[in-house]
Amino acid sequence: MTTERDEVKLIGTWAGGLVMRVMIALNLKQVGYKLLQETPGQKSKLLLQSNPVYKKIPVLIHNGKSICESMIIVEYIDETWTSSGWQILPSDPHDRAIARFWTAYIDDKLPGLFPMLMGIIPGNTVTAAERFTACLQPLEEAFEKISKGKSFFNGNEIGYLDIALGSHIGWIKAVEKMANVKIMTKEKTPRLVMWAERFCVHTVKEIMPKIEKLIEYTELIKLSLITATPRN
């Protein structure tokens, strides 16, 4: 249930792909919130209190209650704020299962591919990029069927699976530039390239961080890793 005095806070950073998922969902539902920025390399007391198990962003705090894990938060937002008319998950249980399956796939396969491309861990970035493209291939092939020939995975409007993958677009473009590689291309992933273009011009475009800022942010992360004091 939501009230006039709803208090919504989001612990995260403007650069976080997973945090972006939550920001998109809140924006789609027209829910006002306060972003509590975390400093790279440090974890605030509030974060540690709100997410003692993982100690990670994003965390949504709704009227004092903490909800963790980005796509769980997105689903919570979908179920809690229902008056805007915007539905993030589709209605049909089978369509919902498809969206959940592919989201689990994205969250299993993609995150681990970024650090090498960002230069945070050593490795062959060309191979890493090829691996990334290969991971996107099944989504590329499934796009027509899932979207039912429409513009987004969710149909005419962006939804759960669009948010899950779309939150990575900024970082994909950033690492393509940083590592001088290609991941999403017209040759290998034409449908995803066009879907990404549509996603980026959607109303959520204000939330999408600029590539140059993400590249700067990566340098900050690398610096904080070098200068971090050893943990107890």
* Chain contacts with other proteins (rule: CB under 8 A): 53, 62, 65, 67-69, 72-73, 75-76, 79-80, 93-94, 96-97, 100-101, 104-105, 138
Contact 44/36 with Cβ under 8 angstroms? Answer: yes
Q: What's the min distance (Å) between Cβ of 78 and other proteins?
A: 9
Q: What's the min distance (Å) between Cβ of 12 and other proteins?
A: 17
Q: What's the min distance (Å) between Cβ of 42 and other proteins?
A: 22
Q: Which is nearer to other proteins, 108 or 197 (CB)?
A: 108
Contact 86/162 with Cβ under 8 angstroms? Answer: no
Q: Which is nearer to other proteins, 76 or 217 (CB)?
A: 76
Contact 13/19 with Cβ under 8 angstroms? Answer: yes
- Distance in angstroms (rounded) separating the CA atoms of residues 167 and 17: 5
Q: Which is nearer to other proteins, 43 or 100 (CB)?
A: 100
Q: Scan for tokens 């049909």, then name that residue.
A: 92
Q: Give the closest residue to 220 by CA, choosing from 16, 22, 58.
A: 16
Q: What's the min distance (Å) between Cβ of 165 and other proteins?
A: 15
- Within 13 A of 124's CA, how many CA atoms are on the CB side? 4
- Distance in angstroms (rounded) separating the CA atoms of residues 140 and 11: 32
Q: Which is nearer to other proteins, 67 or 214 (CB)?
A: 67
